[in-house]
Amino acid sequence: MDEWKMWEHDGVRLSARERLALARIEAGLRQDRRFARRMGDVRYGVWLPVAVLLLAVASVFVAVMGIRTSDPALLWCFALLWPVTLLQAFRLLCRATRPRPRRPHRRPKPTPPTPWV
């Protein structure tokens, strides 16, 4: 296959070399989290809600067991675990209330130029 064989991408014809350069640029931009956040293209994972849920369950369990057994080690575990749970819950609340940037309307694809006859 010829290296200069053209390929249509978003209405623009790119060579194989140009496609490779574009793929490298896009891969570099995807790795920059601050840039993605500024562009409004942040994909929120499920790890923070799962972490908050697990920390809350662990905190309640340790608190109940510490109260029932009066074991100082369990009460200290609760004293250390509860602030971490509150901090993560606060982060989750802040993320949920942050205004999301509006996505711009997609522009219509350009029509290919008409050949001159």
CA dist 47 and 26 (Å) reads 25
Instruction: Give 103's contacts (C-beta < 8 A, 6+ positions apart).
Output: 40
Please tell me the predicted confidence (pLDDT) of residue 6. 47
Q: Which of 30, 50, 53 is nearest to 42 (CA)?
A: 30
Please tell me the predicted confidence (pLDDT) of residue 57. 97
CA dist 52 and 58 (Å) reads 10
Please tell me the predicted confidence (pLDDT) of residue 5. 46
Phi-psi region of 81 (alpha: psi -120 to 50; beta: other; left: phi over 0): alpha
Average predicted confidence (pLDDT) for the chain? 81
Rounded to two decimals, the pTM is 0.54
Work out the angle at residue 89's Cα, subtended by the Cα atoms of residues 88 and 91, and round it to the nearest 5 degrees.
65
